[in-house]
Amino acid sequence: MGRPRNDAERRAAWWYRVRGYRILDTNVWAGGNELDVVARRGRRLIFCEVKEKTGPRYGDPLEMVGPEKQRRLRRAAETWLAARPELADLDVSFEVVAVRAGRLERVADAF
């Protein structure tokens, strides 16, 4: 398991941990793309993309996860899961955690 590279990713992983999720991976490369946080609780497997807004430029963090980024995250998740066949029957969802002005906003089932 990798280590979260920035504070936003650390905070997102902590957010899942305190809510009973087990962190399976962080900052792992699969299928040529990075997965920020992979978490599991029960039969639910979450692939979470973390985006932080640190200044007025570049728009909203949620806008940074457009169709192309979603495609890449799906491909990374498929590759990650293919290496772990024991998890194949779990319910998979993609979430985005946006950090704005120090506050976390989680978007469940983002895409």
CATH code of the domain containing 99: 3.40.1350.10
* Torsional class of 44: left (φ above 0), alpha (ψ -120 to 50), beta (otherwise): beta
Q: Between these two residues, 70 and 53, which has the higher pLDDT value?
A: 70
Q: Has residue 2 been placed in a domain?
A: no
What is the domain extent for residue 47?
7-107
Number of domains in the chain: 1
Tokens standing for 66?
Answer: 């457009």
pLDDT tens track for 66-75 = 899 999 999 9
Q: Has residue 20 been placed in a domain?
A: yes
CB 47 within 8 A of CB 84: no
Give Cα 56 to chain centroid, integer Å: 23
Q: Has residue 96 been placed in a domain?
A: yes
Classify residue 51 by burial, with Cβ atoms within 10 Å: 0-12, 13-18, 19+.
buried
Please give the model's pTM, rounded to 2 decimal places.
0.88
Tokens standing for 83?
Answer: 């290496």
- The predicted structure's pLDDT at residue 53: 72
